[in-house]
Amino acid sequence: MREPDTNATHLTPHASLGYRARQFFAALRAEVGADERALVARTLTTEERRLFDQMPIYDQRHCLDVYRTLVDAGHSDLLLLRAAIFHDCGKVDDDGMPMSLGWYILVTLLKRIPLLYHTAAASGRGPLRPVRIYAEHAWRGAQMAAAAGSPPEIVAILRHYHDPAPTGLAAILQWADEQH
């Protein structure tokens, strides 16, 4: 069994409860347009598209927003942009079940109490399984990308974008992710 990443407790500038409430209500209204689906189809491989498609709409929307932030900031590295489009695929469990919005709320609250969050993530069995999935989602996403045949560079970006001090393309993805 893998230990959960400890870096998942870092609080971004957008960590206020008001921001998180707005984020929650935006997730309830999340949509992905036909033009965005076409972008996904022409950018990702068939197997990477499967990873994108298994995410709930709110995670797809988030990933596309991160992609757009990177493009708007002038980033054009295709591997980075591909990684951005499905960077949260590791939040889908081994049975293909995505993390519900209710669990996002609970994890957000738990992360404000690091000892409790780490204890719940380390236990991660039974009803606490979603906390463990969340804590390991970068590592899990990297494993999923590797199994999907993604290039090693994409696997590395996904594996390290939640590190406490990522470098290279992983650091750029972390920056863009924290904007949302």
Residues 32-48 pLDDT 10s: 999 999 999 999 999 99
Instruction: Check pLDDT > 90 for residue 19.
Output: no
Give 150's contacts (C-beta < 8 A, 6+ positions apart): 45, 47, 48, 82
Looking at per-residue pLDDT, the higher value among 95 and 21 belongs to 95
Query: What is the per-residue pLDDT for 23?
Result: 65
Q: How much is the pLDDT for 9?
A: 41
CA distance 128 to 153: 32
Alpha-carbon distance values, 168 to 85, 154, 174 (Å): 18, 12, 10
For the segment 89-108, the average pLDDT, to the nearest whole number, is 91
Mean pLDDT, the chain, whole residue set: 89
Q: Average the pLDDT over 84-98 and give the result.
A: 95
**Which has the higher per-residue pLDDT, 125 or 145?**
145
Half-sphere exposure of 126 (CA within 13 A, CB side): 2
pLDDT of residue 97: 92
Is 80 exceeded by the pLDDT of residue 14? no
Q: 119-124 long-range CB contacts below 8 Å, 24 or more apart?
A: 121/4, 121/8, 122/3, 122/4, 124/4
The pTM assigned to this predicted structure is 0.85
**Span of 46-60, 71-85, 110-124, 161-175 with lowest mean pLDDT:** 110-124
Between 8 and 107, name the one with better pLDDT.
Answer: 107
pLDDT for res 36: 97
CA distance 180 to 176: 7
